[in-house]
Structure 1
């Protein structure tokens, strides 16, 4: 078996034939039934999936090696770039003026007599932006900044809650169930079979099929291992002999019972026909000999009776 599987030409021929058969088999599937089965499988697996535990594992991986701080740095840099834009500062100034005019109209009216409120708001927006940007730069530059330490504590506590907080776990499950009930999600899940079938057909129709290549390589690897690994060969031979012995025992009992029951069910005519079919000319010879011997015996008995009389 090892030599057979390790032969590239032989494996190539068998895999090529298997690829053609597999391509035909894929085309015979009932698409509607497969879509329903795929949808049922996806939904069942999704319902068994513990989404909160998965989220906890993902976040745990994210925190290894401080990678979560890299994510924080990217977020802070994006915020800093946003706050430094002139359009953003102008929008902040506009909102401050609008709020001030609404809340303190008399004060703003008096200030307007001295200096334009809009100019004051622009200056305040610039100083506010500079202050926030300075704080962001401090956070980015200091590994032990209080903001980073609070971020670490919050993330660690959140991971523990994902694992042990029943209310949070239930919230995750509720979101998952709402998603599974969404017609768009169900429609997408139902189309998974179409995508899988198309991928299989495209790959199997190609003589350079990636799937077939993987199968061929796996077969060659198994063959090489069987050739090189004596303990593996011995183990496989032992299992095959054990399986063959058990199969022989099962078949022997089953065949004996089947033959006995079949013969028991035959009537006399069928039994004679089967014997003639099996024995053939020998049975005819036995019949002729029996007739001749019986006739001679009868003739002898008749002669004896005549002599005695």
Structure 2
């Protein structure tokens, strides 16, 4: 026994077909009974009943033929003209349907008029400020980003991306970029506050006894022989360290300190050399190339990408995803701005209309060709079956009505003929 579920449309169609057939059988049985009864009893009611059942039978059969002829040849008789209309004229029907959709639904005026009726900017703002919508979009972005990064982490794509990026980075003027960074960082003394903070941090740290002990230990280890050769004792070593700490403190408090100015001059000179010194530039380029060709660098980049992919995947799987939350907050902020700014909403609406309207004519023919091509590709039997399941149940009501209306017309004709006969 098959476990495949039965299409409810098939059940409904078969039930209504049985009802229509039962009506025809009932009309035939009534006609037969009326004719037999007339042989034994002559009464106008029997004649009326026979006329009505006969007309009902004819009407029901005629409508059965009409409905069946849409989908197949009645009783399999192919010689009957204009039957099996849908399967034999499938392509023509498809072209007519495509023309109808293109002309009445995708006409430039119809679409443009509908776009003008809709306040696109306000509708977009309402959707963006809707919490459920912004969260759903945020989650979709997070999941989509995770999938993209997962695809990009494929070994072949990694190798391709590495080769492409390496060739692109080889043409990078790293010297000029470094010089530009130094110049922008030091322009208008922007770096002075950072330098001051760093020097103060060092000065504070060096005031710690534990740090001073560590410095003394390292100084004694590195330059102890020199101090002993010069006859310097521990006092001299301590004074040397103290002087260094004082110097750092003075530099931290005095932006115009001579040593800071000297370092500033050296940094500016180094930036200038990065632009003009060909030997230095060649050394920087050689360093760049060695870095790009380094297996360690390649492994490090892949490790970073793997960590990024893993973090994004883990974040996307969480209900409180950081990425989704950020995206949702951004969309909500954009929506609120749109709600507050009528001019911005009008600009969005007009921009969408100006973008979409020229595309209507351009893509309408493409949509029409797509519909025609899809219908041409459909199997005639499959298309016929789907159409019959879609509208066949409703078409059975035509058979019901044909049987009932036939009976009424039969009775009417009988009554008219009897009146004519009486008047003569």
| TM bracket, shorter-chain basis | 0.5 to 0.7
- Give 1:282's aligned residue: none
Asked if residue 12 in structure 1 is aligned to residue 135 in structure 2, the reply is: yes
Q: 2:250 aligns with which of 136, 141, 147?
A: 141
Give the Cα separation in 2 of the matches to 1:11 and 1:191.
32
- Aligned residue for 1:170, secondary structure, equals helix
1:245, distance to aligned residue in structure 2 (A)? 1.5
**Aligned match of 1:247:** 359
Matched, 1:225 2:337: yes
* Residues 2-11 or 143-152, more deviating: 143-152
The match for 1:186 is 298
Shift of 1:12: 2.7
Is the Cα contact below 8 Å between 2:216 and 2:241 reproduced in 1? no
Higher RCO structure, 1 or 2 (CA under 8 Å, sep 6+):
2
**Which residue is equivalent to 2:65?**
none
* 1:161 paired residue number: 273
Summarize deviations over 1:132-174 as a string: whole Å, max 9, x none.
8658746753746654443332222112222333332222121
How many residue pairs were aligned? 239
- For 2:157 and 2:126, the matched residues in 1 are separated by 39
Instruction: Report the secondary structure of 2:320's partner residue.
Output: coil
Cα distance in structure 2, aligned partners of 1:48 and 1:152:
30
Cα distance 1:230–1:182, how it changes in 2: closer, same or farther (>3 A)? Answer: same
Residues 185, 86 of structure 1: alpha-carbon distance in 2 compared, 3 angstrom cutoff: closer
Residue of structure 2 in register with 1:286 after alignment: none
RMSD, aligned α-carbons: 4.3
Q: Contact (CA 8 Å) 1:38, 1:189: kept in 2 or not?
A: no
List alignment gaps of at least 5 residues for structure 2. 1-123, 381-386, 388-424
Question: Is 2:162 aligned against 1:39?
Answer: yes
Matched with 1:150 is: 262
Q: Partners in 2 of 1:28 and 1:252 — Cα distance?
A: 35
For the 8 Å contact 2:315–2:321, the answer to whether it is kept is yes
- Provide the rounded CA distance (Å) in 1 between the counterparts of 2:318 and 2:142: 9
The correspondence for 2:190, drawn from 59, 64, 69, is: 64
1:83/1:26 CA distance change after superposition, 3 Å: closer
Determine helix, strand or coil for the equivalent of 2:156: helix
Shift of 1:58: 4.6
- Rounded Cα–Cα distance in structure 2 between residues aligned with 1:195 and 1:90: 41
Partners of 1:211 and 1:226 in 2: CA distance: 23
Distance 2:299 2:175 in 1: 24
Q: How far 1:205 sits from its partner (Å)?
A: 0.5
Q: Distance in 2 between matches of 1:86 and 1:15?
A: 56
Separation in structure 1 between the aligned mates of residue 304 and residue 227 of structure 2, nearest angstrom: 52
What corresponds to 2:282 in structure 1? 170
Residues 267-295 of structure 1: per-residue CA shift (max 9 Å, x gap): xxx9xxxxxx9xxxxxxxxxxxxxxxxxx
5+ long unaligned stretches in structure 1: 98-117, 271-276, 278-309
Alignment of 1:122 with 2:234, yes or no, is no
**Is this contact kept in 2: 1:19–1:204, CA < 8 A?**
yes
Q: CA 1:122/1:174 → structure 2, altered by over 3 Å: closer, same or farther?
A: same
State the alpha-carbon separation in 1 of the partners of residues 248 and 150 from structure 2. 60
Q: Following TM superposition, by how much is the alpha carbon of 1:232 offset from its aligned partner in structure 2, in angstroms?
A: 1.6
Cα 1:128/1:244, change in 2 over 3 Å: closer
